[in-house]
Structures are given as C-alpha cells and as structure tokens.
Structure 1
C-alpha cells in the first residue's frame, strides 16, 4: 500500500543538484513535484498508472528524469525506465540518464545501468545506492530484469521501486494493429504486470504524447445501439508536461502553415506521388540514376536537398556573423520501411551528390539555376522574420565550396547494428558534417532525437497510418529557434499532408477535451452501419486516415475537386438553382436535414472525381445528419442554411495550394460570421454559387460549393467513414 505524503521533500541532495545543473523552469518543477506527490498518494499499477502527458519532443524525458530524482529524495530506492524496443532509443535514454546524473554517479549516490550489461557481482555498497535500470520493452531485456530482481539480487525486490514506462503507447492496446503486433504487445504487457505483482512496493508512471492510447481503452468492445458515448478507462492521475517558449508542433505544421501571413506558410512543399514510386525501387523505365541532376522524376527531392544545403549554409553564415560556432544541420528522408528502398534512395542521392560535384565544372548553368531557385525560396521566408540574408553570390560561393569540399554527409539508418557508430555521446544521431542527410525507416520514427533538423522529406503510406505511429514520425516537432524555422521545409504529397492534418486535428480535439476536463463525459465515436444509421463505434477499430474530427465551428468542405463539363452538368445546376433559390436567401433560414442531404447528393453528381481529388460526400452528409439530431424544438432535425451567389473564387491559390476558403471569413455580413452566429446547437450549411470561370481553373460553368460549419456546442466527436 502507498503511504500518503502530506509534504514531499524538495530540498534533498539528488533533486536539488539536478535542478541546479539543468535549470528547470518553475513550471517544470511544479509539474515534477505534483507528479511525485500524487505517486505517493495514489495506488498505481500497470492497469491504473499515473500519467505524465506531454507533446512530441516537448521535454517529457527531461521531466521524468526530474521525477526520478525527486522520487529518490522521497523514499524510492530504485527506478526502472522502460523504453521502446529499439536499441537506438534505449541507448539514447541510457546516455541521457548517465549525463544528467553524472556528478551523482561520481559521488556514488546514484548508479545507472543498462539491464543487458548489468554486472553480476554488484556488492552491497553499490546496491545500497539509488539505482536506475534502463530496460527495453523486449522479452530478452524483461527476462534479464526478472533474473536481476528475483535471482541475482533478490534484495532489490524488497526495495521501493518506481517503474517509468516511457513512450507508453507502444505497450498499450491502442488502435488497430496486426495479429503479430497484438501478440507481442500482450506478451510484453503481461510480463511487465507479472514483474509488478511480485515486487513488494512498486508504483507505476506512464509517459506519453499520445493520450488516446490510454484514455480511450475500452473496458469492453460491445456497445448498445442507443449508447453513443464511449466510456474510457483512465489513469489514476494525470500531470501535463508544460510546453516552454519556442516549442513547435502540429499547430505550426498543420494550422499556422495555412495562414498566408504566417512564417509557417513557407513550410510545406508538395511532392508528386509518382516521385515516391520512383524512390521505392530501381526501375530504369521510370528513372535513370545517371540523370539525377536533371530528371523531372525526382524534381522535388533534388530541390529539397539543394534547399537544405542553402538553408543550412545561410544559418551557418548567420552564426559566424554573430561570432558563434557554426552549427551542423540535418535533413531526414523517410518514405519506406523496406531496407532495399533505403539502399536505392542512398544510391540516388549519392549519384546526385556526385553529379553536383561534376556540375561545378561541366554544367555550371544547371547548378547555378538550382542554387538560385533555392536561394529565392529560402530568402522569402527569411525576410518574413527580418533575418540577415547574405547576397546570392556569397551563398553561391559557400554552396559551391561545400559541394567541392565534401561537406554533405549521406547516412543510411536502417539497422540497429549501426547504432553504436551513428549515435553521439548524448544518444542523438551524430552530426558528422556541416550538412547531414539521414535516410531510414522505422528506427527514425521511434523517438530518436535528431539535432538541428531543417528538412523533412516524408512519404509513408497514409492508408496504413495509425495515430501513435504517425505522431512519432514527426521528428520535426520540438523546440526550434525562429531562425531555423525560417529555413525549414517539409516535403510530402498533398494526400499525406491532409491525412497528417486529420490526425493532428484528432489529437488536438482529444487533448483539448481532456485539458478542459471534458474526458469525464467520454468522447463520441460514431460511424454509419450497413442500413445507413449512425451508430457508436469502437476506437480500437479506427483507421485514422478515414476519420473526421468534429469540434466547435469546424468547417467541412470539398477541396481540390473539379466540376464536370458544362454540357454534362448544366441541367443539374439549373435544378439546384430552383431548389435552393426558392427559399428566402437574403438571410439564414432553417432547412430540413433531409432536403439538405438531397442538395449535397445532387451537388456531388456535378463533380468529376476522375479529373481531380475525389470528395467524400458521405462524411459531409453523415456529419450533417448527426449534428442535426442535436437540435431541439424548432431546430430539431434541421440545419441553418446560408446562400450566396455570383462568386468568383479560383480553384488554386497563388502559392500553388488548393483553395480551401470559398466562404468569406471576415466582415459583419460574411457568411462565416453569420454561420457562427446561428450555429449554436445545429450546424450551418453554406451554399456558394460559383461562376466557375475557366481563367480561375474551372470548366467555364457555374457550380455550387458547399461548406458545413459545426455548431458552437459540438461535443468532441470522431466520425469514422468506414
């Protein structure tokens, strides 16, 4: 049983020294102290753990190290840190702990061990010190831990132990996984639980950036037809890791990036799906490697690498100008898990590198064009932050020098056998050159820290995306100087970007609901059944690329679509005109949801899915129908409808992105303002009649563009398309 702590000791040797050497902020110290206090007050276990909830690359490790230190000053004798099952992450964690506790290790106060290299001849002088074991969540490691605790050093099993499960989502039940993954996860979870049950005094703290993996675990996967709210199992307590100034996460990548005036608007660079196919494996019918410098087949990859070189060199130039040591920079290419693909990508980039060297003398015009294009790309974003920008000729000189003197390092990271030579003394990927490109797969997505990352070329298949996997892919999240952000670029296909944006919205909605305390009422998960009725669904069934997250005043609309030709859709548009314009359209009016559904279904028939991005009218309609059921009185089963005509919106913005805001966002009489005024408990459907001029990217025919605005009182809802 846990003893209730009335007041924890925050002035002990271990915690005091750690705080002194690591400059924890007051907010971080408060989080650490609250966590230890709650661990001492609550009964925790693997089934009902304490929870330390942070964001990707936000300082979770730093925080749980503080928890371990403070715990040692408050009755804990030993900490077991469980890491994800990769040697890289385990070594990174071990090196980090060694570094943080170095002075205490030297003074024989705390000792840190990797369980796989734990000596079998520790004496009582060592065993009486505070101990930290780093253990991978992998069967050999866990068996070695069991032997240490119950056979080699049985006195350890009598001590008070804190188990910290780092990146807890890996061993949680989570969402849809393969049968092999489920078997392995269950084995690991079972082994951890058996260990816990045989220890005399043990507390359990899970650390994660993916709260759904625990908060949304169901007690049972059966639902009554009438019960829409999913009731999750929650941890014994939760502490939120504070996010400091300068943290960059999904909000920057997937929300601010769509605001034209934001620095983030320069971040995303779309790539063609065909380019990912070229990079999957060698096929000389598609691409000849000797043409890497000029072939359009790898246009985005080539420009991404030159952008990276120019951005990194400008940042190094800025460091030198400020009398700082020039930093080294990194770029990640992560498109496939298969090692064969990594080998092919390495060959392509090495060939490109060699051709850049040859171009110094043989094709200077091509090289100059590539560098100048990259310079203009980077210069625009640097001007946004009023950063110092060297003249083009100076940048060109340094880029040419870097090419000619081999300052660009290409490293393939796809084998755990490589980790010893790839990681530095802190456990991060070693930056060996001024400019470093890392090519890899799963090892890069399991929490490995990569310093000074200013380029990310990403291409994993979104149809297989799961939430915990995708967020851990986001190595570009973390604390970033504004100057680095100005030269940072993110390359992926539009489809992948949209899926990642969807997953960011999912994560944000759940996190916000949790932080507001809304998780006490559950989260609504719905889908349509075979008979077209909205029913609850189990979160463990979700494929997140097919979900839509609903929150107050969210907009749903088709984007990237194309209309049919005038000869095919003119009569349908006329019929829509009669149906819609028969109402008094000079102000918002109530429309029966069944009529609204017929209108949307008809609008869908005027789009050409073969010519552009298909639109899922099913999700739009299902969401509208579900939200209409939330209305009461005269609003029951209705939607508010707002109609505007004679619109001339272009299909594509000047920056090359699809137009996604046909509704006027500002002004007293703007349709979005009106929608937010009336949509309190039921949604607002905005119907915009566009003129569809050819010079705007359309097919010279009018059409209707629908926008659905969710109501102010929308509960946190996840709609699964299938």
Structure 2
C-alpha cells in the first residue's frame, strides 16, 4: 500500500497524525482493499462520541485516493447543519489540493450541472445528507455523469447507526430509516466498484441485529451481523468520555447538580401558577436554572481571568439548555432566561452587594476544584462588569434555518460573545460541535431515551482541558442521571465485548415473561431505561429506598433472620440454591416501603442473579454464594445529602465486597447485610436486610430487559 502519495502526505503534514492515528488510518484502507464490503457486511470504524472520528475518516479519504480510489461519497446525518459542518471541514482539509486542481469537494445539493472531463478526472468528494432529496440528487449526478459509475468509489456512512435498524423507534422513524437504507443500497449497486465503510460511536444497532434468529431458553444468544472488519479509533489521553462523568465519585460531587422535576415543568410552558416572570430572581420554581446561569457566568469569568494572567488569548464559553423539543417551550425558556439576565443586570446597578453575595456563593462552590484560582473579589468584579456591559448572549436554536445562520466558517456554532447560552432541542443533537462548553442544563424524558442518542444529547464528551472541567457543571434530574449511568454501563459493557471479539460471538439478551421465566429478548425492542447491563464483578443493589414501619415488617425480618442465620455457620460464606436466594430477595422486598423512597426493581435483580447462576459451566451451577454480615449501622443519607450506595465497603478495604469478589468466579455472590435500621440514621427504627449482588468474574456482556408488555 502506498503511504507517501500526494493526498495522504498533504493531510499528514496538515494534521500531524499521531503514530496510533496513522496506524488506524492505514489499517482501515488496507482492510478495505482486502475485503469485499457492502451495507450488509460493512467495514466498521468504531470510535467514541466526539473523539476524532471525522479527523480519522478524512485521513482515510486521502490514503484511499492515493491507493486507487477516485471518488468518496460521505453520507452525513440528516441535518443541514451537520452536512454543512462536514462539507466545510473537508473543503478546508483539501483547500491546497483543490486550488491545485487535484481534489474537489462538493455539497451534493450545490454541485454544478456542467462538470467537464477535466474536473471529473480529479479526485472527487461528495458530501450527501442522509435525506431523500439529497440521495435523489446524488442519483441524478450519477446519471448525468455516467463515467462516475465506472470509477472506484469509497462510500463512508458517517453516524452509521442513523440509517440502520436498531433499538425501538417510532413508525415514522422506521419508515424513513428503511427508505434511506434502501437508497444507500441502490447507490452501492449503481456504482461498478465500491467499498463501504461505516463510522459510528454507537454501533449496537449495527452489530446486534440477528442475521438469523437461532435461540432457545438454554442458549439465549443473538448472533449479530458481522462487519467485514472493525477498526478502533485511538482514544487520546485528553479525551473526556462517560467514564469521567459516571465512574468518579469526586467528579460527580463537584460536577452534578440535581434539578427538581417541578422546575422542568415550570420551564415547559407559561403558567403563572408555577412561575411569574417578575419573580425570576427569587422564585423557587427555577432555583437551579438561576444557579446554573450564575455559575456559568462565574465559571467563564474564572477561565478568562486565568487566561489573562497567563498572557493567553481570552476564550469564549458556551452553555446549553436542552429540555424540550417543542419550539413553544424554547420561546418560553428564552423569555425566562432573558428576563433573568435583565434582572441580574439591573441588580448589579441597584443592589450590587446582594448580587455579589450570590456570585461569591457560586465561586466558593467551585473554588476547591480550581488550580490557581483567581481572587474572589476579581471574579465578582469581572462578573458584575460583564452583566452591566451586556457580555452574555442568549440564543434559541430550534430550526434548520436558524442553525445555519449561527454556524461559523467551520460549521460550528458561532460564539459571538464572551458568554453564550444556547436554548434548543433536537437540533442541538450530536454532530454539531459547540466549543468550550462548561454548562449543561439537561431535562429530556428518560422514558424515551435511546442508546444511540441520549449521551450525545448532553454534548458532554470530547477534548476538554482540565481547567475547563474544573468550572464545568451538569444539571439534570436524579432520575435522568441514574438512567445515564445505566446507559454508560451498557455502552462500556458492549464496547468491551466488541473489543474482545464479542461482535463475532453474539451478545446475550434476556427478559422476564409473565410467569417469571427467563426468555430470549430481541435487541431491537430494547428501551435503555428498562435494561440492566451485566459485566464482570458488577454490583447491583437497592439504593434510596426506605424500610416499612416496625409493626409491618418485624415478622418478615424475623423469618429472614432465622433462615439466613441457620446457614451462616462459623461466620463463613455458604452456598445456597438459586430458588432459596430468590426467596430471600422476595422477602426483603416486602420489608421496603412501597410508597416512599426510590422503588427497587427486584425483578431485574432476580432475573440477573438467576441467569448468572444457571447459565454457567461451574460445578456449582444453580447455586449462589452467600456472604452475610450483621450489626451494621449505615445511614440512609450521607452527610453530603446523597443517599448511601455503598453499604458493602469499608475504609480499611477488608470489606464483604472484597470477600465477594474473590468468591465470584463463575457464579454470582449475594451479600446480605443486616442493618440495625436506627431512626437517628434515617430509617424506621427496625432492623432490615440490605442485599447486594456481585456478578462473576467471567461474566460475558448480558442485557436484561423487563417484559415490555407490562410497561
């Protein structure tokens, strides 16, 4: 393979590809040459959200041009903004070669109708939105210039999951997706020599669709459609992904700020029973929104003061409010935020001391996370100055036309002011780059979350400096945050399976039917808010629950005491049948209050435990290890206000979780912790049992889903 050609050399010089990136690009083109690829058996470039996939596939286009490919068709997600961003990016990358009449880049909707042979003999890039009219325009171009059909064409399907069957979609979405997929297939057939590369960060709908359904209750494994090959985009150390946000307790403490559900309702539409505009400075209905705007102001000021001290160019910063899709909601939210901005500006003039106290509180909340924090008084002074001089811009983005007007030369959202608040819905979805985001106010309904979009809605991932992260805040409801944690588990579990060859082995999907049996579950009916993902040594436990009153639960607790302690001989772990373990869990659930606290999905707990116990090659098949501890006095809520979620860990490291992880090799471990349940610790004054399930070390990726007919 030629690696010193004109196009690839130009892109390398322009982008300074790292060693790992060069290896990824060159491996992909080599595999494209070696394999026959099409939509049913594509080449796969698998990256992470906002991790450099576009940079990678542009490098692939250059190397492909140097190795026999004459044209590249880049299929983008179906928004004008993303198509324009991709077009501008490619045009900039190939600017020098375009001026030298070596490579030409076209937006398919603006392609000239009179291209001559001189132009058609150059290397060509067509940017095509995955939308019916764009696809038809491409088809027309192939008819107008038939010589294109005989040339070697590389088709790159960017954000490939959008045009593939996947998790549950609406009927309209399914119809549109099928139509576009059909057009892509027709395109491939029209071109005599083509290669097909799909680029995605959410490959589940591509990998997990069964080619032929062959499952049984004893083997609930779905064999996926296998890509011709898969190449992983290297992830630089500066990349910030879901691991950062959802696996670090210290980060959660400083970054995540919960929103009350009632606040989202107040921001959905005008309703003076919930919010009066004249009370935006004091109303508890929008307490978190008010705090988020002030924190964004303070965070942006902090970063600009740090840059000024270091003699650097002052950056502009952005903040997203993304809670509703309806334009009417965006208009109301813009009205609220503009009124809040106006009142804060007036407060800076009339009562600067009162505003100063509000700003100081925001500064103090982020100060401990800052390196070289600027003096508090400097931050407050600069924030007051920005409000008085109108340096904060509020913009609503909720239509294609508005989005295109807001894009800069690179196809990114233009930051016109030092501080920019963007209010919008679906149009702020993945693909559109928004620079220097340090605030996310997010409120989309988790019951409609889909794996291939939800984490990208929040726009949280990408290359972020540690200094920017130190002032970044993420505002959402507790429920949404927990769903996003669940989706993170799903994402990382499946990605690990893919990296270890899981795409060639199938992935286990199970659900529980009406009679509580385990049955296979088709992946294309999953809603991620209703799933539990199992991976090695994962913990499952009820969190945020409250016990029943002593009068109602004492008898059940006594029964559990007798049964468990009869097996707990010499205080050592013991084996029990899965049926008995299920009985314990069912009885424990009866001791929880069904009206107060977060409700525990014991069905998922039991189904997961049952699956892990029964589908194993261990000599203890059908058994569960049990680790018991008693005399515990864990509080229901920690000092920081968060509910307790680690009853199985201790500061000295010699915890029952440590014991369980050593035991959990091929079958699961059920940890049973007898809590004293004292009132001073937030409970109801009666002992109770707190269960924790630990999955085996050899667990393969498993996705459990409740029977959706019950929902």
TM range (shorter): over 0.9
1:237 aligns with 2:221: no
1:349 is matched with: 337
For residue 609 of structure 1, give the secondary structure of its aligned residue in structure 2: strand
Which of 410, 428, 432 pairs up with 1:448?
432
Task: Tell me the CA shift for residue 416 of structure 1.
Answer: 0.2
Cα distance in structure 1, aligned partners of 2:252 and 2:10 = 39
| Inter-CA distance 311–615: structure 2 relative to 1 (3 Å threshold) | same
Q: 1: CA distance between counterparts of 2:348 and 2:685?
A: 48
2:659 matches 1:674: yes
Alignment partner of 1:120 is 2:150: no
**SS of match in other structure, 1:411:** strand
The offset of 1:471, in angstroms, is: 3.0
Q: Determine whether 1:646 maps to 2:631.
A: yes
Map of 1:4 onto structure 2: none
- Conserved? CA contact 1:665–1:673, under 8 Å: no
The Cα shift of 1:264 comes to 5.2
TM-score, normalised by the number of residues in structure 2: 0.97
How far residue 373 of structure 1 moved from its aligned partner, in angstroms, is 1.4
Whether the 8 Å CA contact 1:360–1:400 is kept in 2: the answer is yes
Deviation per residue, 1:58-89 (Å, 9 max, x gap): 00000000000111111111110000100110
Gaps of 5+ in 2: none
How far did residue 700 of structure 1 move? 2.5
User: Structure 1 445/116 Cα, relative in aligned 2: closer, same or farther at 3 Å?
Assistant: same
Choose 229-238 or 367-376, whichever is displaced more: 367-376
Please, which of 465, 468, 473 is the counterpart of residue 452 of structure 2? Answer: 468
Indicate the residue corresponding to 2:52 in structure 1: 59
Q: Quick one: distance in 2 between partners of 1:607 and 1:571?
A: 13
Match of 1:591 in 2: 576
1:581 to 565, 579, 586: 565
Partner of 2:161 in structure 1?
169
Counterpart check, 1:73 vs 2:66: yes
Is 2:120 the partner of 1:135?
no
Q: CA deviation at 1:482?
A: 0.7
SS at match of 2:597: coil
Matched, 1:610 2:604: no
1:477 counterpart = 2:461: yes
1:205-284 to structure 2, matched below 5 A, reads 205-220=197-212, 223-256=215-248, 258=249, 260=250, 263=251, 265-284=253-272
| Contact preservation (8 Å) 2:167, 2:523 | yes
Cα drift, residue 697 of structure 1: 2.1
> What is the deviation of 1:654?
2.7
Aligned to 1:203: 195
Shift, 1:406, TM fit: 0.6
Query: Are the aligned partners of 1:685 and 1:709 in contact in 2 as well (CA < 8 Å)?
Result: yes
Uncovered stretches (5+) of structure 1, i.e. residues with no partner: 1-7
Q: CA deviation at 1:634?
A: 5.6
Aligned to 2:548: 564
**Distance in structure 1 (CA, Å) of the matches to 2:173 and 2:294:** 39
Task: Give the corresponding residue for 1:409.
Answer: 393
* Counterpart position of 1:704: 689
Aligned to 2:147: 155
- 2:40/2:225 contact within 8 Å kept: no
Native 8 Å contact 1:666 1:673 kept in 2? no
Q: Which deviates more from structure 2 when the two are superposed, residues 649-658 or residues 470-479?
A: 649-658
2:101 match: 108
1:315/1:484 contact within 8 Å kept: yes
List per-residue Cα deviations over 1:578-600 (Å, max 9, x = no partner).
22222225111112221211111
Question: Paired residues, what number?
Answer: 706
> Quick one: distance in 2 between partners of 1:336 and 1:222?
41
Contact 1:630 1:681 in 2 (8 A): no
| Residue among 139, 146, 155 paired with 1:146 | 139
Look up the match of 1:5. Answer: none
Matched, 1:296 2:296: no
Once the 2 structures are TM-superposed, how far is the Cα of residue 109 of structure 1 from its aligned partner?
1.0
Report what 2:410 is aligned to. Answer: 426
Question: What CA distance in whole angstroms lies between the structure 2 residues aligned with 1:563 and 1:484?
Answer: 42
Contact 2:556–2:591, Cα closer than 8 Å, also in 1: yes
Q: Deviations over 1:115-136 (max 9, x none)?
A: 0011111222211111111000
Aligned to 1:285: 273
CA distance in structure 1 between the partners assigned to 2:618 and 2:21 by the alignment: 49
Q: Residues of 1 paired with 2:353 and 2:629: CA distance?
A: 51
Q: Is the 8 A contact 1:666 1:672 kept in 2?
A: no
User: 8 Å contact 1:280–1:344 — kept in the other structure?
Assistant: yes
Tell me how far 1:168 sits from its aligned partner: 0.2
Distance 1:409 1:651 in 2: 43
* Deviation of the 1:221 alpha carbon: 5.1
Cα drift, residue 334 of structure 1:
0.7
- 1:501 maps to what in 2? 485
User: How does the TM-score come out when normalised to structure 1?
Assistant: 0.96
For residues 271-298 of structure 1, what are the alpha-carbon distances to aligned partners after superposition, in whole Å with 9 as ceiling and x for unaligned? 1111111111111111112111111111
Native 8 Å contact 2:226 2:504 kept in 1: no
Structure 1 residues 125-169: Cα deviation after superposition (integer angstroms, max 9, x where no partner): 21111111100000000000000011x211111111111000000
- State the superposition RMSD in angstroms: 1.4
Q: Is the 8 A contact 1:52 1:238 kept in 2?
A: yes
Per the alignment, in what secondary structure is the counterpart of residue 611 of structure 1?
Answer: strand
Structure 1 residue 680 displacement after superposition: 1.1
**Matches of 1:394 and 1:402 in 2, distance apart?**
12
Aligned counterparts of 2:348 and 2:379: Cα–Cα separation in 1: 15
Is the Cα–Cα contact under 8 Å of residues 293 and 355 in structure 1 kept in the other structure?
A: yes
Structure 1 distance, partners of 2:638, 2:369, is 18
Distance across 1 between alignment mates of 2:265 and 2:34: 55
- Aligned match of 1:3: none
- Distance in structure 2 (CA, Å) of the matches to 1:574 and 1:360: 63
Rounded Cα–Cα distance in structure 2 between residues aligned with 1:137 and 1:215: 20
- The offset of 1:667, in angstroms, is 4.7
